[in-house]
Amino acid sequence: MDLLASVIKFFESGLFRLSIRLFFLFIVVLWASLIYWTYRDAEKRGALALYWAAVVFVFNFFGWAVYLILRPPEYLDDARDRELEIRTKEVLLGKGSLTCPACLKPVEGDFLICPYCRKTLKKSCPSCNRPLETGWIICPYCKTAL
């Protein structure tokens, strides 16, 4: 009986009441932090930030868990950076950077021979001396037949 009385006395003490109040204060601060974090994260990811913050406000941790499952997979800045990188690589590929067919070293479009292995890349026009493809039968610049 003495043990039961001491347990009841503990639950009626000020220390227990203080710890319960601190626990509820911690829960409220955690809840508000989750609402703020969800709003900021949804804003960075391009989701409906106010909507998801309201979901977390109403449904607490369950709404936060649903947001974590359904949120967009990447930040908007990361998506923009990826798109910019893809466009840059497409431009570089579209430039038509040429390589020598023999040694695979980079060459310019108007080179007549490869400066590395001396392979003939193009022939020059006898009239205007512009570089021509090896299979051409007429110069497109000066109309000279080859």
- Per the DSSP assignment, residues forming a β-bridge with 145 are 138
Q: Where are the domains of the chain?
A: 2-78, 97-146
| Separation CA 128–CA 79 (nearest Å) | 50
Residues 75-105 pLDDT 10s: 999 999 999 999 888 877 766 668 888 888 8
Residue with tokens 């703020």: 36
pLDDT over 90 at 7, yes or no? no
Of 23 and 127, more confident = 23
What is the pTM for the complete model shown?
A: 0.56
> What's the pLDDT at 94?
67
Residues 36-88 pLDDT 10s: 999 999 999 999 999 999 999 999 999 999 999 999 999 999 999 999 999 88
